[in-house]
Structure 1
Amino acid sequence: MTDTTSRVPVVGRLGRTEFIVLVASLVAVNAFAIDIMLPGLQQIGASLGEADPNRRQLVIPAYLLGFGLLQLVFGPLSDRFGRRGPLLVGLGIYCVAALFAFSTSNFNALVALRFIQGSGAAASAVIATALVRDVFAGNQMAKIMSLVFTVLMLSPILAPSLGQGLMTVMDWRGLFGFMAGWGAIVIAWVWWRLPETLQPEHKRPLSLKAVIEGFGIVFANRISLAYIIGMAALFGALMGFLNSSQQIYRDVFGVEAMFPLFFAGGAACSALGGMVNAQLVNRYGMRLLSWLALGVFGAAALTILVAALLHALPLWLFFGLSAVQFLVFSMILSNFGALAMEPLGEVAGTAASTQGFLQMVPGAAIGILIGQVFDGTVIPLAVGYVAMVALTAACVRLMAGKGRVAG
């Protein structure tokens, strides 16, 4: 396919730019629901009588569990009924759960509501990817995914500060009020402006046999599966950093007070990487950029590992190499996501749900493993980085081949 392929035009009053912004807003629904909660965890526990700080953290994984599992449901639904209907249902569940969370007085109920909220948000994640695949193909699809990914990586910069700001005028309930309001705005936007992008001939019957066949198509495509596995491995490396980063900056480098600034700096580099990829992908192609970015990520990981083993890893070097990794990480995931989706246009919803599930669940498990072996040094994280890069490179090379690097 050519770089400018757009098999399904964006119809109605929704132009290309508005389409991109709307898809990015769907992604932000989920991103804000995670990152905006970070400043409020302690206040939530104190307000609802939960004294155990470890149990207070359940507000986050409960959401992620619902988000990961229900992607497997919304994918086949969107392939059967189109994108608009399941998307509106999922966003509605998200908003209703946020409203109930706003008024709850029981911590266990809040955890359950977060699971339900994440379940609804799964629709926005799956269908955002399917929408892009419906409308664009080839390098153009990777360019759009890069722009969307840029918005996603801006959320760790904006959301915690927004959450802290909301809590200066309200208590933690204001966080859920914001989420419900934002979700309602996106629902209205989708209802009035988004056309149906799934063509009638691509609709699949919703039966157990058809669903199994749809997932079979995804798992039988070696190229797509290779990139999905690669995304899961690299997402696991990222989760390993997120799980142990605060301890690293506190225990290894002694700069705990500046941790939010370092975290925001890494997120800014990821956003920059998305913008760079969007500018370069049409010229150099998804595969070439993916391999180059993966090589840079691996080289930075090896440098961190060697320097840590030699006890010669100052803060400036660790942060500089981490910034480079964050920059190329967004390039890798944008291109891998597009490469995984490109052969699966006839089951885009199921493919997106499989991609999201395999990235979220195994990736989170890898991240937990990396985080749990933290030993007061950067070595476990660096070993995890190197291992996941090696797994990704081997998997993509053996299952997908280098392919034509220009495309």
Structure 2
Amino acid sequence: MPSSGNLPSDGFKLSRTEFIALIAALMAINALAIDIMLPALAEIGSTLGVMTANHHQYVISVYLFGFSVSQLFYGPVSDRFGRKKPLLIGVGIYVLTSLACMWIPDFSMLLVLRFLQGIGAAATRVMTVSIVRDRYSGRAMAEIMSLAMMVFMIVPVIAPATGELIMVFAEWHMIFGFMALFACTIGLWAYLRLPETLAAEYRRPFTAKSVISGFRIVLGNRIAFCYTLAASFMLGSLFGFINSAQQIYVGIYDLGRGFPVAFAAVAAFMALSSFLNSRMVGRFGMRRISQVLLITFITLSFLLFVLSVAFQGPVPFPLYIVIFALIMFCFGSIGGNFNALAMEPLGQVAGTASSVLGFVQSLIGTTIGMLIGQSFNGTTIPMALGYFSVGAIAMVFVLIAEQGKLFRTVSASPQHTIEK
């Protein structure tokens, strides 16, 4: 399996720029299904008779649960049949369920379809990570993922505003029509331009023994598993914010139509972080960058918690948004580096590895995010405490992975650079 920092000269017809753009666009299919919904949650709840505000969050949570559990299936399948076919099937499921959501009669049916939509979207997560790992490794993989994340972060910047704009001219059902159109366009791009990246000689038989063997390889690697758990808890902070963003920005700070602007500003900080990481990771390494930012994340989250308690009410919005934007700036580089560190030793089972790691991260992250979101009490205290807690737990797993030694340097092997 290719492990050099550059794409091999094997007839791969995508340029590096188009490859990054396509990977980012495929990742964006999933992000769009979450972020474009945020301005519509209250109206969806009102239209479908959901009276409890925290229950509106289930539109996000059930999607994420479907996204989580189905990843275990896609990985072994892609290691047997390749990346492209499962990817296109997943996109097709996403498109069909998006269209079905345009005509749902009640809230329960919406939740069922959102769960199925998450199952389709899971293919984009597993396949994009697997495809990148098929082509890159080490710091080169971290750089590519960071650049893809930077482009991907355009979605949180514009998606809430797009959802708001759609509701100006039509009702919320049309948001799902937009999702279907977007996914269909990206799926067609992948169908026409993306070649199969898993060579025949690297395919694994789809048997119970082979799948279990692949899972053992993934779960038995200390660094991969611990960095996966660390990334899982960090992901919980993001999902916690997404679940309660509308209630914080509109309910606490009364931003109204300014909600998409505030959401976009924070997402822009995350995109900037991903861009800077892509430029700095080759010099400083994945470990040092992510570990410094994790310490900063924990410190700033604790500061926000202390301020939330001290004010006994809303932290003044200018102070809140500055601290929170800095927290999410840290998150913007931590996730990509943690994922690259987790995938680095698992190239021989990239599809299975991507599905297992994605399943663990998404399931834990979704559960934590739901707990943070459901604990919303009209203040920023639950979110700030949740952020501090997940950051501290992530640090424990990083210390286990690194055997207590942070900020380790790197060395190069004749074949490719390996983080030490």
User: Under a length normalisation based on structure 2, what TM-score does the superposition of the two structures give?
Assistant: 0.88
State the shift of 1:343 in Å. Answer: 0.6
State the shift of 1:256 in Å. Answer: 6.0
- Partner Cα separation in structure 2 for residue 179 and residue 92 of structure 1: 12
Give, as a single letter, the amino acid of the residue that structure 2 aligns with 1:146.
Answer: S
- Partner Cα separation in structure 2 for residue 108 and residue 236 of structure 1: 25
Secondary structure, counterpart of 2:367 in structure 1: helix
Gaps of 5+ in 2: 411-418
8 Å CA contact retained: 1:8, 1:197: no
> Which of 329, 335, 338 in structure 2 is aligned with 1:327?
329
Superposed CA deviations along residues 267-290 of structure 1, whole A, max 9, x for unmatched, are 111111111111111111111111
State the shift of 1:336 in Å. Answer: 0.5
Give, as a single letter, the amino acid of the residue that structure 2 aligns with 1:165.
Answer: L
8 Å CA contact retained: 1:147, 1:274: yes
Equivalent residue for 2:133?
Answer: 133
Aligned pairs for 1:98-137 (under 5 A) are: 98-137=98-137
State the shift of 1:56 in Å. Answer: 5.1
Superposed CA deviations along residues 317-376 of structure 1, whole A, max 9, x for unmatched, are 322121111111111111111111111111111111122211111112222323344444
Give, as a single letter, the amino acid of the residue that structure 1 aligns with 2:348.
Answer: E
Aligned pairs for 1:5-404 (under 5 A) are: 5-6=5-6, 8-9=8-9, 11-44=11-44, 49-52=48-51, 57-249=57-249, 258-311=258-311, 314-401=316-403, 402=406, 404=408
8 Å CA contact retained: 1:12, 1:193: no
- Partner Cα separation in structure 1 for residue 43 and residue 148 of structure 2: 32
Secondary structure, counterpart of 2:13 in structure 1: coil
* Aligned Cα root-mean-square deviation (Å): 2.6
Give, as a single letter, the amino acid of the residue that structure 2 aligns with 1:92.
Answer: G
- Partner Cα separation in structure 2 for residue 211 and residue 311 of structure 1: 53
Q: 1:112 to 1:314 in 2, by over 3 A?
A: closer
- Partner Cα separation in structure 2 for residue 359 and residue 205 of structure 1: 25
Give, as a single letter, the amino acid of the residue that structure 2 aligns with 1:348.
Answer: A
Gaps of 5+ in 1: none
Does the alignment pair 1:405 with 2:404? no
Tell me which moved more, 350-359 or 123-132.
350-359
- Partner Cα separation in structure 2 for residue 343 and residue 86 of structure 1: 24
Q: 1:334 to 1:10 in 2, by over 3 A?
A: farther
Secondary structure, counterpart of 2:153 in structure 1: helix
Give, as a single letter, the amino acid of the residue that structure 2 aligns with 1:188.
Answer: L
Give, as a single letter, the amino acid of the residue that structure 1 aligns with 2:85.
Answer: G
Superposed CA deviations along residues 359-403 of structure 1, whole A, max 9, x for unmatched, are 111112222323344444433333322222221112111223437
State the shift of 1:152 in Å. Answer: 2.9
Q: 1:189 to 1:231 in 2, by over 3 A?
A: same
- Partner Cα separation in structure 2 for residue 378 and residue 347 of structure 1: 42
- Partner Cα separation in structure 2 for residue 378 and residue 113 of structure 1: 31
Give, as a single letter, the amino acid of the residue that structure 1 aligns with 2:37.
Answer: M
Superposed CA deviations along residues 67-106 of structure 1, whole A, max 9, x for unmatched, are 1111111111111111011111111111122222234445
8 Å CA contact retained: 2:61, 2:370: no
8 Å CA contact retained: 2:30, 2:121: yes
8 Å CA contact retained: 1:68, 1:360: yes
Q: 1:377 to 1:10 in 2, by over 3 A?
A: farther
User: Under a length normalisation based on structure 1, what TM-score does the superposition of the two structures give?
Assistant: 0.91
- Partner Cα separation in structure 1 for residue 226 and residue 321 of structure 2: 30
- Partner Cα separation in structure 1 for residue 103 and residue 191 of structure 2: 27
- Partner Cα separation in structure 1 for residue 385 and residue 103 of structure 2: 44
Q: 1:251 to 1:83 in 2, by over 3 A?
A: closer
8 Å CA contact retained: 2:150, 2:272: yes
Q: 1:10 to 1:306 in 2, by over 3 A?
A: farther
State the shift of 1:160 in Å. Answer: 1.6
Tell me which moved more, 8-17 or 76-85.
8-17
- Partner Cα separation in structure 2 for residue 249 and residue 45 of structure 1: 18
- Partner Cα separation in structure 2 for residue 37 and residue 247 of structure 1: 13
Tell me which moved more, 127-136 or 237-246.
237-246
Secondary structure, counterpart of 2:383 in structure 1: helix
Tell me which moved more, 252-261 or 208-217.
252-261
Tell me which moved more, 201-210 or 312-321.
312-321
Superposed CA deviations along residues 243-276 of structure 1, whole A, max 9, x for unmatched, are 3444445676565664433222111111111111
- Size of the aligned set, in residue pairs, is 405
- Partner Cα separation in structure 1 for residue 22 and residue 270 of structure 2: 20
State the shift of 1:26 in Å. Answer: 0.5
Identity of aligned residues (%): 43
